[in-house]
Structure 1
Amino acid sequence: MALPSSPAASAPASAGERWPPLESSPEVFNQLMWSLGVPEDEAEFHDVYGLDADALDMVPHPVLAVILCFPDPPQDAIYPSDLLLSYGEKETWDQVYFIKQIESLGNACGTIALIHAVGNSSSQINLVENSCLDVFFKSTASMDPYERALFLEKDDAMVKAHSLAASAGVTELCDVVEEHYICFVAVNGTLTELDGMKDGPIKHGSSSSKSLLQDAVPVIEGIMRSIPDSISFNLMVLSRKQNNAGTAS
C-alpha cells in the first residue's frame, strides 16, 4: 500500500475516493505508466529486493528513477531530508520537474511519484504523441508546482487511469493510509529527492544516470533508520528497456 503523509490522511472523503491509494508493486505502476503513454518497450518498473551490492546488481539498467514507499514517520522522528531542504535554490527548480501534492489530490502520491519519475526522464523516454502524459507535460511545462497540482486535480483522464490502477492491486484498500511515495532522480549531475509533500526538490549531492540507485541507497537507509519499528518499506526502480537504451530523442 502507499500514500501521502498525515495531511493527506485527513483529506476530504471525495479527494480520497477520487484518488485512492496505489499498491506498491511494479505490476500496478507499469499498468498505470503504460496506460498513460509510455510505450511498453520503452521503460518498466522493477522491484529492488535489497540494498546490498548483490541485490543492487540484479536491478535492470539503466535506471531512470527510484521510487520508495515508506511508512509515515513518528512525529518525533528526525527525517533526514528535512535537514537538507534548500529554500534558497528556487532558481534551479526549473531544471527539475516537480509537482506539489495538495490536499485535494487525496492519495495521489503514487501517481505523483510516477509523474516525477517520467517527467525527469524525458530525454530518455519517448512518449506516445498526444497521450495523457504527453499532453500533461506539455500543458504544465511552464507552470509552477502548485499550478501543476491544480491541473492534475482536474485531469479526468489521469484520474481514471489512476483509479483503474488502484483497483488492480491485490492489497485490500483501507480507510487510513499510513504510507507515502517519494522519487529519486539524477538531474544535472545531482541526486534529487522529489516528495510532493515538501516545498520543493531536495538535493543530496552528486549523482549520474549510471550511479543513481547506488547514490540513493544512503538516503533511503537514513529514512529507514528514522522509522526503526517498521518493516513497511518497498523500493522500485524505473529502468529503460535494454533494446531501447540510449535511443531516445
Structure 2
Amino acid sequence: MAQPSSSSPSASAPAAAGERWPALESTPEVFNQFMWSLGVPEDDLEFHDVYGLDADAVSMVPQPVLAVILCFPDPPQDASYPPKQPLFSGGKETGDQVYFIKQIESLGNACGTVALLHAVGNASSEVSLVENSCLDLFFKSTSSMDPYERAVFLEKDDAMARAHSLAASTGITELNDVVDEHYVCFVAVNGTLYELDGMKDGPIKHGPSSSISLLQDVVPVIKAIMCSIPNSINFNLMVLSREGK
C-alpha cells in the first residue's frame, strides 16, 4: 500500500491549531516513538506496517492485533465514504466500553494523535502504562468524560501537544499545515468491530470481531473506503500488536 506522509481532518484547519498540532507522518517509526514517549512500555506494544490486503500479507502481521490505523486521503465531497453504517448512539453501558474522542476544530491536524489515543485507550486491558506518564494521566483524567469533553481536555493538554509536535518533527516529510490525509482507527471491543473516526459523531459498528480476527475483519471495510476514493493511491495501514505474545 502507498504511504502518505501526513494527515489532516480538514485542509481548512486554523493556522494556530496547525502549529500546535502539526500532521504526523504515517510510519511505525514515528508512531512507536510517540507512543513509547507517552508511557507505553516498549516491550508491550508496537506498531507494524501492513503491506497489502491479500491473505499472505495479512498473515505476516504480528499477532494479536489490538488496533488497526488507516491513513487515507480526505474523500471528495461526492465520495461514498463513509460506508452507510449506523453511528453508535446507544446507552451509557456501551459508551463506557468504547473509548472515543471527538476531533474539534481547535485540534488542527491532531487526527494521528486521536487515532493513537483510540488505539491505546481501547487496549487498556492489554498494557500497563507507566505510572504518572502522559497517557496514564490522560486516560485517568478523561475516563468519565464524554467524547467532546475529552477533546477539549486534549486541546488544553500542553504535555500531549509538545509530545505530538516532537513526533511530527521526527518524520522525513516537511511539515505543512495544508495536508490531504486523515486517520481512523479500528478496534474490537467486547466482540464487536468499531470504526473510530473523531470527525464522526461516534463509533461505527461493523459486525463481530476479536483480537484474533481484527485485521481480517477490517479488510473489507478498508477495501470499501479505497473503492470510494478511486483516484488516489495514498493509503497506509498500520497495526498495533502485542509484543512477544
TM-score, length-scaled by structure 2 = 0.95
2:52 match: secondary structure? coil
Structure 2, unaligned runs of 5 or more: none
Q: Does 1:2 align with 2:6?
A: yes
User: Distance in 2 between the 1:49 and 1:126 partners?
Assistant: 29
Question: What residue in structure 1 maps to residue 19 of structure 2?
Answer: 17
Q: Does 1:63 align with 2:65?
A: yes
| Equivalent in 145, 148, 151 of residue 146 of structure 1 | 148
Per the TM alignment, residue 241 of structure 1 is displaced from its structure 2 partner at its CA by 0.4
Q: What is the correspondence of 1:210-221 to structure 2 with a 5 Å cutoff?
A: 210-221=212-223
Contact 2:87 2:201 in 1 (8 A): no
User: Distance in 1 between the 2:23 and 2:88 partners?
Assistant: 29
Instruction: Name the amino acid aligned to 2:14.
Output: P
Q: What is the correspondence of 1:164-243 to structure 2 with a 5 Å cutoff?
A: 164-242=166-244
Per the TM alignment, residue 20 of structure 1 is displaced from its structure 2 partner at its CA by 0.2
Question: What residue in structure 2 maps to residue 125 of structure 1?
Answer: 127
Contact 2:22 2:177 in 1 (8 A): no
Give percent identity, aligned residues only. Answer: 77
Contact 1:32 1:162 in 2 (8 A): yes
Instruction: Name the amino acid aligned to 2:8.
Output: P
Per the TM alignment, residue 176 of structure 1 is displaced from its structure 2 partner at its CA by 1.2
Contact 2:196 2:203 in 1 (8 A): yes
Q: What is the correspondence of 1:76-87 to structure 2 with a 5 Å cutoff?
A: 76-81=78-83, 83-87=84-88
Q: Does 1:98 align with 2:103?
A: no
User: Distance in 2 between the 1:53 and 1:197 partners?
Assistant: 30
Per the TM alignment, residue 62 of structure 1 is displaced from its structure 2 partner at its CA by 0.8
TM-score, length-scaled by structure 1 = 0.94
User: Distance in 2 between the 1:208 and 1:175 partners?
Assistant: 37
Contact 2:9 2:111 in 1 (8 A): no
Question: What residue in structure 1 maps to residue 47 of structure 2?
Answer: 45
Per the TM alignment, residue 89 of structure 1 is displaced from its structure 2 partner at its CA by 1.9
Per the TM alignment, residue 134 of structure 1 is displaced from its structure 2 partner at its CA by 0.4
Contact 1:68 1:182 in 2 (8 A): yes
Per the TM alignment, residue 90 of structure 1 is displaced from its structure 2 partner at its CA by 4.4
Post-superposition CA distance 1:158-190 (Å, at most 9, x none): 001100000000012223111000000000100
User: Distance in 1 between the 2:15 and 2:87 partners?
Assistant: 33
User: Once superposed, what is the RMSD of the aligned Cα atoms?
Assistant: 1.0
